[in-house]
Amino acid sequence: MPAGRQSLPLVQRLSRLGAVMAMVLMALNVACDSGGSSTSTGGAPSGGGASKTDEGAGETAKAPVFGTGVVKGRIVLEGDAPAPTKIKMQGDRFCTKHNMEHVAARYEVGADNGLPHVFVYVKKGIDAKYPAPEEKVTLDQTGCMYAPHIFGLLVGQTLTIRNNDNTAHNVNALTKKNQKFNISQPQAGMVKDVTFSKQEVMVKFKCDVHGWMDAYCGVLTHPFYTVTDADGHFTLDRLPAGRYTIEVWHEMYGTRTAEVEVADGETKELDVTFRKR
């Protein structure tokens, strides 16, 4: 042994040797792990069946499609039309100037007993979910009334709520499947955007400040819906060939359904009659 150099005790030399061996083993383990063997994040033992990430593999969602089928018709009321009932606007000086200007929408009847404000949509037969359009739908508060009274939109589509009146309004959404909200808009020009995450037919809106104000919205996962015109006419177009359940909804007379099968390029006529309750 060279002069001036002391030999380490045997115990210390063994300790250092053990540390080196541990580092070598750790390096070997890392190399094995990076060699392509996978570990399950779903908790299933290796070789014990499909993991959670494998479930549903191979299943493909149906792509949204449009066709050339059309269902059109008319919604009518049987018997004598109800007497038109005009809305009394009281308790707000801004609103009283519109007193008795409007007939309550639920009592409106058009030519030959055609029913306006009827929501018509495909209830069954459309399996695909359609992307929400970028175009916004607007619910106005103008003349102390909601406009439109009946409308529809898609899940995820933006609904813009706007106060055009120089008085306080609010929009209370009486949802059953979607998250509830109650928006206060005390000044003219106030705007609020909202969306819905689930299909729901119908969502009622009401104003807690003015009890006569209400509106209804159909929230769907597809665009095959419409609202009847002033005389009860409607058209559902761009339908893919298939068999459908069509539902019509009126706020006072309830719902009616009908089964319709339409081929590409075909137009089917569908007339529905409501009876007064």
User: Rounded to the nearest 10 degrees, how much is the dihedral formed by the CA atoms of 122, 128, 129, 135?
Assistant: -70
pLDDT (tens digit per residue) in 22-51 = 444 444 443 434 333 333 333 333 333 333
pLDDT number for residue 61: 57
Surface-to-core class of residue 248, CB atoms within 10 Å of its CB (0-12 exposed, 13-18 middle, 19+ buried) = buried
What is the pLDDT, as a whole number, of residue 45? 32
Structure-token pair, residue 26? 């750790």
Name the pTM for this structure.
0.77
Torsion angles phi and psi, residue 214, rounded to 5: -150, 160
CA angle 160, 216, 248 (to 5 degrees): 130
As a whole number, mean pLDDT of residues 64-70 equals 96
Collapsing DSSP states into helix, strand and coil, what is residue 39? coil
Kindly give the pairing relationship between strand 169-174 and strand 200-206: antiparallel
Per CATH, the number for 65-125+224-277 is: 2.60.40.1120
Phi, psi of 103 (to 5 degrees): -85, 135
- Percentage of the chain surpassing pLDDT 90? 75
Q: Given this chain, do its domains 65-125+224-277 and 129-221 carry the same CATH topology?
A: yes
143-198, pLDDT tens digit by residue? 999 999 999 999 999 999 999 999 999 999 999 999 999 999 999 999 999 999 99
Site of tokens 């083993």: 25
- CATH number for the region 129-221 comes to 2.60.40.420
| Structure letter (DSSP) for residue 81 | P
Domain residue spans of the chain = 65-125+224-277, 129-221
